Chain A
């Protein structure tokens, strides 16, 4: 039977056509529903945090430390903002270069079975619960040197490292091999090709991946409980000592049961989201500048 005959046969078979259309409609509806639920949940979180946070946030909140009495109104999370920036900053300083280096090895240099094994270990690392990472750093670092912001940075670096490695690896794999060959055919060495061609081409994706890891680290609380510990009452700039972070402060304030502390926690949550957004936008902006820099 020719294709035309099949087509006209199907057209004459009205009930079959109706069934097919109904099926298509049902599945399309299900997909749209799934999309609405996914986007709706995210929007709900953002709107809820926004509403609760905006009613509690103020300049005072961003520039003052919490009051000694958690039931008292006013005060803010200045010490936590500073602590988060320092702890996550150090973690990013450790994890981003190491992760990019590991990914460059995997994509550009790895031979034989080593890359596969490393990739597997990396995927396992991504899946490790972060409280376990905190316990690990507690055992190997805190038991010797005590609680400190730096111990928190180590824990966060371990959380970030596999994420940075994975996204950088994927971005480098997207760089067309034509470009590597084009560079090598000009007499460039492999390292020149990586530094001048592959990494700049993959840069926007690498930055996005690194910022996702930073955002993840900013919100991590569990690994910090056992490492940075927290520091409710004063601002600590020295990462060698125990430090407050925004995530820890949101956790402890939300936990108290006092309305005043809870509204501080909402303001802290909004601050956290704002910091992540600002850092991501800034990184993208500078990434674009670097990428398209002229002669």
Chain B
């Protein structure tokens, strides 16, 4: 299938507004195995864009290409362009580290640093990138923890180990850690799949709030979650086993779930497959 067959695909454009993301013709491989083929979409600034689809369809690989995490896996490579604020993050002149401090990521399993305190976990990105610029680390931590709805729960034990927190708290700490670096775009790779419904609710609520500052791209295989948090949704799938995953339909979340144009999308969002 070529890009032209993607339904509702907005024309890729290089001059997206500040904070906006455009993925153009993205394909990705692990060694000789092609896992993603010709994915194109745009994520508008300060909106939540969700990628949904069955397991193994390449959703995670796509977002790992957006902050250049994909290339860290030995043997992994990609093709295509990822434009952020209109500039290609794969330009040879661009440093992968600076891309990652501009485009933060929250992982499927909470991964706070076990040797570090709650406070240290929150500010470690700022310390490493030396982006504090004279601001007080304590203020940065407090602000980030507030935004991640964690401050009230941890303010009296900032020096306790991060691993003393519950799973949901740990994930919010990881969100605070990502926010503290002040990225413009936040990628979330199934951030709630390891959490219970209450912890999930807390995170969905905060995703809704941070869109005043941040663009969010979230991968989820929970369709209810996509309808609750996102403005735009892309549906990825694999047509036959062993083939690479493709983005087959992209549109507003209301349209994808209310009036999907492709039978495959309709079957998936209605719960008949996947």
Contact = CB atoms under 8 A, between A and B. Distances in A.
Interface string B117-137: 101100111001100000001
B12 interface: no
Interface in A181-200: 181-189, 192, 196-197, 200
Interface residues of A, number: 23
Interface in A223-263: none
A178 interface: yes
A178 B107 contact: yes
A196 B130 CA distance: 14
B174 interface: yes
A186 B72 contact: no
The dominant DSSP class at the A interface is helix
A187 to B, nearest CB: 3
Given A196-B124, A294-B159, A295-B137, A186 B115 contact: no
Given A189-B97, A294-B120, A196 B128 contact: yes
A201 B98 CA distance: 25
A294 B160 CA distance: 9
Contact of A187 (B72, B101, B123, B159): B101
Contacts of B246: none
Contacts of B112: 182
B115 A188 contact: no
A197 B162 CA distance: 14
Interface of A: 111, 176, 178-179, 181-189, 192, 196-197, 200-201, 203, 291-292, 294-295
Interface of B: 67, 69, 72, 74, 97-102, 104-105, 107, 109, 111-117, 119-120, 123-125, 128-129, 137, 159, 161, 174, 177-178, 181
20 contacts: A178-B111, A179-B111, A179-B114, A181-B72, A182-B107, A182-B174, A184-B97, A185-B104, A186-B177, A187-B99, A188-B129, A196-B124, A196-B128, A200-B116, A201-B113, A201-B114, A203-B115, A291-B115, A292-B161, A295-B119
Given A186-B101, A203-B115, 4 more contacts: A179-B111, A185-B100, A186-B129, A295-B120
